[in-house]
Structure 1
Amino acid sequence: MNQASATHAISHLVIHRLVPGDGAPSRVELRPQANPLDDAAVRLMERLCRHLAERPGKGFGHFERDEGNFPMAHWVRAHAIEGSLDFAGLSREMLGHLQQRIDEDKVEEGGYVLFARATVFGADCLYVALLQETLGTVIGDGLSILDSPHLDMAGLQVAGRIDISAWQAGAERYISFLKGRGDVAGWFKRFLGCTDVVIALKETKKLVETIGHFADTQQLEAPQRDELMERAHLVLEEMGERGDPLSLQAVAAQIFPDAPARLAETLQNEALDLATGFVPDKRALRPLIRFKASAADWKLEFERSSLRGGSVHYDKESNTLVLSNIPEKLRQLLLDE
């Protein structure tokens, strides 16, 4: 195993080529053996992992149960769990299946197909990516200007990851893939044998918690922090009412317009695995504008705006809350005690 860094360790990597058919069936060019795990391979995998982590618009799911029509789970099990299929054989099976899905959907797209198994942040993962070539420029001998083809990571549209560790642990979601442009996600999702799993309420709760954590780390004054939280509530509530699917970059730009890239980076953190494309569930939005707490002998819930309005006052020195404008009914109850 090649130790790429403190967080990445590659055990297998091979690149084959898929040649589009221009109206006819595509064809493949197989590399006869695995690529050496040298420095170039390590850098390539680190770039791929970085692009996948930073790229918005990902889908998440688990394997389809019908392994006859969606055989990916069978092959991964044979390779990673049973040990009856080596990595070279796995890559050939996967490449043949990818070719079949592309030909079925008449996708006029080819490129270099990367298959890799790597441990990333402690998780044993299987990666597949369809890499395109683009033309760049280099300066050669005598300061001459030369064309130089290279892999176009910035234009990456087709890639996925199967978290084998999470799959074996019985996780609800362990497959992630780029949604890409147009109908890319459809045929590639079928290739992975993936059923989308997006539970809007659960994902919205995760989103709300992340926004709250982000607000805590920005060292904002209390009014600015409340404004950010209230703006997030308004934006997400309106999306829920309209039925608009979530776009992390668009939401970041609306919630934190002063520095949207900072919020987008937090929301797109690979460890968070926050889905996109779901409609925010309004039931999970209340913590953005409301405080709620309880102790052994009391419960309390109030709007953030009441702190600014003065009906709720927190005294830091005595660590007490003072409530003003008590409703008459509650006043009478208190007087009767």
Structure 2
Amino acid sequence: MSLELNDIILHSLVMGDEGQLICHTREQELPITNNVVGLVEELQTSYQSKAGKGFGYFTKDEEKATAFPEQLTQYLAGDLSFVEMSKSSAHLLANEISKYDFAEEGVFLLAKYSWVASDYLLLILLANKETVSVTDELDVSPSRHLDLSKAQLAARIDITQWQQDPDSNRYISYIKGRVGRKVADFFLDFMGCEPGLDAKVQNQGLMQAVDEYCQQQALPPEEKQEYRETVFNHCSEQLSQGEDVAIKTLSEALPSNAEGSFYDFVSEDYQLEDSFPVDRSTIRKLTKYVGSGGGLSISFDQKHLGERVMYDPETDTLTIQGTPPNLREQLKGS
């Protein structure tokens, strides 16, 4: 399903000669052309595929609140233009960045669009990358382009969810900062966003519930694996469609017995939300064994354990029968 783009604008944040961050703002929205729509669709797809996103909401703490939510409200009500709202946002972001010891330059993009029956506002700080290009005359010329693949400072507001459920703790999603850096902090601070739902914890709770439900039912290994694969496939499908996994809907896709459904089992002892975003890195452990450390990374389908892959806990040794062809060629050539 393609998105419907309503508004889009770019502003620039650059370091001045004296080391201060300068905000250059655009006075008009970008015209909505096929190229511009294609750009937003690419950013939306890239953002949707990012793993480990955080979720939050606009703070109710007056000391942490900013002007951003009110200005966004005014824009949605038609009392403030998209251009003015975006310019104010750019200056708020520049002020927050200036409080830190590092400089984050780039192009600040704001886009309001509709996708999968919801309205969104996407905010991304994109880096300008220096490169060279070949002209029609076959000359080499320096050029700059937006590095879309490395957008690490981004947030998306589900406007529809915010308006329909203002007490929700998850209508803002954002890319978490890289390990050891707090670059995501100022992006949340300028919006006045508080961390809310922990999607990773919810997904881990779901995995635990699946394992314990299978254990309660005394399922043989083959049926347990099929059960886990069904859960994985359902969650993967929801993720691909940009939808949350709903426990009740998931339960309907799973076999039940006289003692009750998976939904009944979860409702008794597990503190899971009725629905929550899928965390890809967590759910893949439903069907795979994954681990890395000490320069070694291993991943294989769980169904292979005891067949192609043998584990000896006494010696802490894995024995693999039948290596992948590409790995085999590398080993032979070493």
Distance 1:263 1:230, change over 3 A: closer
Any conservation in 2 of the 1:56–1:268 contact (CA below 8 Å)?
no
CA distance in structure 2 between the aligned counterparts of 1:98 and 1:189, rounded to whole angstroms: 9
Match of residue 180 from structure 1: 177
Distance 1:111 1:128, change over 3 A: same
Aligned pairs for 1:65-80 (under 5 A) are 65-66=60-61, 69-80=65-76
Match of residue 30 from structure 1: 25
Corresponding position: 1:271 with 2:229: no
Any conservation in 2 of the 1:67–1:74 contact (CA below 8 Å)?
no
Distance 1:167 1:29, change over 3 A: same
For residues 53-88 of structure 1, what are the alpha-carbon distances to aligned partners after superposition, in whole Å with 9 as ceiling and x for unaligned? 1111311011101356322221111111x3211101
Aligned pairs for 1:151-166 (under 5 A) are 151-166=146-161
CA distance in structure 2 between the aligned counterparts of 1:76 and 1:133, rounded to whole angstroms: 27
For residues 140-186 of structure 1, what are the alpha-carbon distances to aligned partners after superposition, in whole Å with 9 as ceiling and x for unaligned? 43666655432111111111111110001114310011113221121
User: Secondary structure of the residue that 2:150 maps to in structure 1?
Assistant: coil
Corresponding position: 1:105 with 2:104: no
Match of residue 2 from structure 2: 7
CA distance in structure 1 between the aligned counterparts of 2:205 and 2:80, rounded to whole angstroms: 38
Q: Shift in Å at residue 210 of structure 1? A: 12
Match of residue 224 from structure 2: 226
Distance 1:23 1:66, change over 3 A: farther
Corresponding position: 1:92 with 2:87: yes
Any conservation in 2 of the 1:54–1:265 contact (CA below 8 Å)?
no
Corresponding position: 1:294 with 2:253: no
Q: Shift in Å at residue 23 of structure 1? A: 6.6
Match of residue 124 from structure 2: 129
User: Secondary structure of the residue that 1:85 maps to in structure 2?
Assistant: coil
User: Secondary structure of the residue that 2:109 maps to in structure 1?
Assistant: strand
Any conservation in 1 of the 2:71–2:85 contact (CA below 8 Å)?
yes
Q: TM-score, normalised by structure 1?
A: 0.61
For residues 193-213 of structure 1, what are the alpha-carbon distances to aligned partners after superposition, in whole Å with 9 as ceiling and x for unaligned? 11111257972378549999x
Q: TM-score, normalised by structure 2?
A: 0.61
Distance 1:76 1:294, change over 3 A: farther
CA distance in structure 2 between the aligned counterparts of 1:22 and 1:225, rounded to whole angstroms: 66
Any conservation in 1 of the 2:68–2:192 contact (CA below 8 Å)?
yes
Aligned pairs for 1:240-279 (under 5 A) are 269=240, 271-272=242-243
CA distance in structure 1 between the aligned counterparts of 2:35 and 2:209, rounded to whole angstroms: 35
User: Secondary structure of the residue that 1:105 maps to in structure 2?
Assistant: coil
For structure 2, the residue ranges without an aligned partner over 5 or more in a row are 212-219, 246-250, 266-334
Any conservation in 2 of the 1:210–1:267 contact (CA below 8 Å)?
no
Distance 1:168 1:11, change over 3 A: same
Match of residue 194 from structure 2: 195
CA distance in structure 2 between the aligned counterparts of 1:269 and 1:100, rounded to whole angstroms: 36
Question: Given residue 224 of structure 2, which amino acid in structure 1 is its aligned partner?
Answer: D
CA distance in structure 2 between the aligned counterparts of 1:95 and 1:168, rounded to whole angstroms: 23
Aligned partner of 1:42 among 37, 40, 64: 37
Question: Given residue 146 of structure 2, which amino acid in structure 1 is its aligned partner?
Answer: L
Question: Given residue 84 of structure 1, which amino acid in structure 2 is its aligned partner?
Answer: D
Q: Shift in Å at residue 42 of structure 1? A: 0.7
The CA RMSD over aligned residues, in Å, is: 3.9
| Identity across matched positions, percent | 28
Any conservation in 2 of the 1:18–1:111 contact (CA below 8 Å)?
yes
CA distance in structure 2 between the aligned counterparts of 1:156 and 1:37, rounded to whole angstroms: 22
Aligned pairs, number: 242
Any conservation in 1 of the 2:152–2:177 contact (CA below 8 Å)?
yes
CA distance in structure 1 between the aligned counterparts of 2:56 and 2:244, rounded to whole angstroms: 11
User: Secondary structure of the residue that 1:14 maps to in structure 2?
Assistant: strand
Question: Given residue 257 of structure 2, which amino acid in structure 1 is its aligned partner?
Answer: A
CA distance in structure 1 between the aligned counterparts of 2:223 and 2:135, rounded to whole angstroms: 53
